[in-house]
Amino acid sequence: MSTKEKLIAALKESRGNWISGELLSERLAVSRAAVSKQVKRLKDEGYAIESAPRKGYLFTEESDLLLPEEIRQGLESKVFGRNEIAYHGELDSTNTLAKELATKGAPEGTVVIAEGQSRGRGRKRRSWFSHEGGGIFVSMILRPDVPLTDAPKFTLLTAVALAETLIAHAGVDVVIKWPNDILCKGRKLAGILTEMSMEMDAVDHMVVGLGINVNIEEDVFPGELSEIATSLYMETGTKLSRVELLRRFLERFEKFYFLMEEEGFDPVIRRWRELTDVLGREVTVDLINKRITGKVVDIDENGILIVEDDRGEGHRIFSGDISYSGRKE
Ligand code: BTN
C-alpha cells in the first residue's frame, strides 16, 4: 500500500470522527507535514475531508467519484485497472486521451476515466451525452497480438462483459444490439466505441471506450435523447455506486479478454448470441453507399452479421448501423 492508500484507509476507518495529524503521522510513518500535504492532495481530488487546528482531520462522506484508489480497492483484476488509471474531472474525450497515451507507449490495461466529457464521441461521428457525475466514461488500452481482421471481436467481447455486468450488478434486463449498443426495454443504456491503430496487417493497439448512463435522472437527458435513452437510475429507481459497477466491469472484461486469448472467440460469441436480440430480426442496415433491408439470419464465427434480403440474397455486414424494422420472431 502506498502512503496515499494508507491515509485513505485510516481516514475511512475513523469516518465521522476526528483523527489527529499526530496519530496519522505515527500510523503512516511519515512526518506531519507529509500528512498535511497528502490530505490537501486528496481534497483537491474530491475527497470530502475537513481539517481544523488541534482537532486534525475528519472524513465526512463516502463520495462516488471514480477516483483511482477507490476503484483499486477490492479490485480483483490483474491487468485492467492495475496499471495507470488516468483520472480527470473533465476531458474532451477519454478515448482521445487514451489514444494519445497509447501512442506514447502506455501499457495494456491503462484506463482513462473522466467525470464528464466536453466532446464525448460515439460511433459514426455522433456525440455522446456525457453529463458530469451521472455516467461512467471510461477508455481502456488493449494491445492484443492479433491480425486486423480480429479487431471487431473486441467490441463484441466488451458488449458481452458490459451486458453481464449490468445484469449481475444492477439487476436490469439488457440486450446487445449489434455491434455496440446495450439496450434496456428498447432504449439505449450504454455504448461502446472501439478505435484501432494498426501496424502492417496487425493491430498495434486498441482503445475501447464505454459510456454507461448510470445515475442520470430522466429530465437531464436533452430533448432528442429523452425518447431513446435510459439510465440505470431510471430503470431501477436506485442510485448505484459507479465505483463498484466499474470495478466489476473491469474484472469481467478481463476474464473474457484472457478467455479469448486462450480459447479463441467461440466462448465469447456463444455468450453474445444468448445476450443479443438481433438474431431473427427484420432490420434495415445503413452502409456507406447503400441500404439493405432483410432478416438477420446469423452472426458468423468472426462476429460478422449475416443478413438475408427480401430476394433471399445473403449479405455479410462487417460494420454499419442497423435499425429494427419488425418484431422479433
Ligand atoms: C456509441 O454508442 O456510439 C458509442 C458511445 C461511446 C461513448 C464512450 S464515453 C467514453 C469514451 N469516450 C468517448 O469519447 N466515447 C466513449
Per-residue pLDDT 10s for the chain (329 aa) are 788 888 988 988 888 889 999 999 999 999 999 999 999 988 887 788 899 988 999 988 777 889 998 999 889 999 999 989 999 989 999 999 999 999 999 999 999 999 999 999 998 889 999 988 789 999 999 999 999 989 999 999 999 999 999 999 999 999 999 989 999 999 999 999 999 999 888 999 999 999 999 999 998 999 889 889 999 999 999 999 999 999 999 999 999 999 999 999 999 999 999 999 999 999 999 887 889 999 999 999 888 999 999 899 999 998 888 998 865 54
Q: How many CB atoms lie within 10 A of CB 105?
A: 8
- CA–CA distances in Å: residue 158 to residues 152, 257, 275, 301, 315: 10, 9, 12, 16, 24
Residues at CB less than 6 angstroms from ligand 1 = 93-95, 117, 120-123, 126, 128, 137-139, 180-181, 191-193, 209-211
Q: Which residue in the block uniquely carries the three cell numbers 485510516?
A: 10
Q: Which three cell numbers stand for residue 227?
A: 425518447
Cα dihedral 291, 224, 170, 258 in deg (nearest 10): 40
* pTM for the model: 0.89
Nearest CA to ligand 1 atom 11: 209
Instruction: Give the residue, out of 121, 184, 192, with the most ligand 1 atoms within 8 A of its beta carbon, to mutate for a pocket test.
Output: 121
